[in-house]
Amino acid sequence: MRRRIKLGALAAGAAAFVVALPVLGQDAPQSLLPPGFGAPSPKAEKPAAPTLAGPGQAAPGAAPAAVPSADEAVAESSPTLLPSDIAKLAAAEVTPPAEMPDAAKRSLALVGTNPVYGSDAFGDADGRYLATLMRRMQAPIASRWAEIMLRRALVGATPAPPGESETDWVADRAALLLRLGEADAARILVQGVDVERFSPRLRRVAIESALATSDPQGLCPLPDGDEQVGGQPAWPMIRAICATLAGDTATANATIGRGPPNDSIDHPLAERLVAAGGGGRRDIQVDWTGVDALTDWRFGLASALGIAIPQTMLDGAPVWYEGWLARAPMLSASDRIGPARIAAALGVISSEDLVDLYGRVMDEAGDEDTDSPAGRLRAAYRGDDDDARLSAMHALWDAASNGNGGERDRYAASILTARAAAGITPSSDQKDDVAPLVASMLAAGLDIQAERWASVAEATSGTDGDRAWAILAVGARRPVVAIDAARVRKFADRAGASGVQRSALLISALAGLGRLNDADAAKLAKRLGVTLGQSSAYGNALRRAVSAHQRGTVALLAAVGMQSSTWTGVPAGDFYQMISALRAVGMENEARMISAEAMTRL
């Protein structure tokens, strides 16, 4: 159960950016771009493209070792989203570059991990423009794979772009990572800067990252400030916590004081931490009754203490708290399973790590209950034969389908069983299962294994056959199923009115990947009322990033275009533009995985 199975590298390729599809009409859903969305001043094109990995080589999308593993390896944009004063707008939101302090110990030139997309991933894009996009992005985004791609771009060591200070460049990237649920990746960036060099913004993000990683000790190196928690000064509580963590109970007792009589949560949490270290009062009660919202302070201290946060509180909080909770070290593995499933669907937790967590649940239980989720997962991987393993997988998939977790939890079940699905031998006897098996494998990027099912998918009729065919049509490394206008039309006709979004995104993905020619794509799109390739603020921004070969900017813009909690809110016209752009800058692997995810989750 606890073995760690490494994902094979995905082959990378480059292709021309397709921009020539005719203009057609379409309506709903609405554009997802942030208010005030804009573009930087035109820059000179970069003539050289980065070297891409060939077959058998490590792909440029492989996850950096320093970051938590993450598996690897139908609408228009509004044409009025680009205000003429974008530079003024962004400058008003971004702190001007600060002078380098004399006491600096470490360089701020490149803060982060090995840059998967190159140290020039953002090129010479205007820093005010990038900061505005990052600060206004609404999380979560629809795609797990787009989130993984964005994390790689943000955590990589890249120089601060023009118009953004080096410290604020770290802060803006880390702040967005926190909102994506990526607490550990954000902490990596924050810890790459000496405290003496923190800007005010980076200081705030450092506080958030310490709380997000359930590590109050991360607050101790910071100087006192005027931050407040629940209307009371935070730093006396923090100094008391830090004193008790250092073994200085006398200082902790003298500093902690007493909270306001109406405070049942914020000060009591601090007192509980002090008491856990041997200081303060021992009879402190933490009462969530009447608490109106979950905050970073409440999350960080409660999870550090191993105190369960009420599910009703989590349900009303932004989903990134689930991502933080999934990696909280003081909680038991069983308490982390629910958050980890959500985090996996978001892109924060890998298939490999999710399987390991289930293994730890079984270890904690001390027995192998074959009817438990962990027991069924064990059977999915180690059953006596394919039928036994498939039966166990179905039990996991069905439990998610019939549960209360919704589509996100159903996708988490696919992520969980990915490597078990890869172990099933392709056979026409399993044609009824070809769609969920292919979907599961590609949920973790196992494209080579999924491609082995191409002949079974093509021989399968009905809805299952259509779904398996569509996933492979966009997710395989090369065309392994027949792709032509007639096949796509048949898919769309059978999908009907309830499947218009799925059909529209399929056409967009196939066109963006260059697997469906422009004329056919135009005709098929017209039948659905979809517009592909028309001039828009979003498309123009992507084209500029492609022209400058800014892979990081393309990744950021792709995420901007997917600001929706579900795939039903992703505009097909924008989807075509982002898939085309990713392919054009050598990120076809990412484009394929995002497209396959769309076909799986819709």
CB-based burial of residue 273 (10 Å sphere; 0-12 exposed, 13-18 middle, 19+ buried)? buried
Residue 113 carries which DSSP code? Answer: B
- Give the pLDDT of residue 77: 34
Positions in the chain whose pLDDT score sits under 70: 1-105, 279-282, 367
Question: Which amino acid is present at 443?
Answer: A
CA–CA dist 106, 195 (Å, integer): 11
CA–CA dist 53, 25 (Å, integer): 39
Q: What is the pLDDT of residues 320-354, one digit of tens each?
A: 999 999 999 999 999 999 999 999 999 999 999 99
Q: For 415-458, what is the HEC assignment? A: HHCHHHHHCCCCCHHHHHHHHHHHHHHHHCCCHHHHHCCHHHHH
* Residue 247 Cα distances to 250, 252, 283, 452, 469, angstroms: 9, 9, 20, 59, 62
- Give the pLDDT of residue 52: 28
Q: Percentage of the chain with pLDDT > 90?
A: 73
CA-closest candidate to residue 438, choices 402, 412, 475: 475
- Give the pLDDT of residue 282: 66
Per DSSP, helices labelled H in 191-295 are: 200-212, 235-245, 249-256, 266-276
How many H helices and E strands in the chain? 29, 2
Tokens standing for 445? 């990027």
CA angle 189, 214, 249 (to 5 degrees): 115
**Is the previous residue joined to 35 through a cis bond, with omega within 30 degrees of 0?**
no
What are the two backbone dihedrals, phi and then psi, of residue 23, each rounded to the nearest 5 degrees?
-85, 130
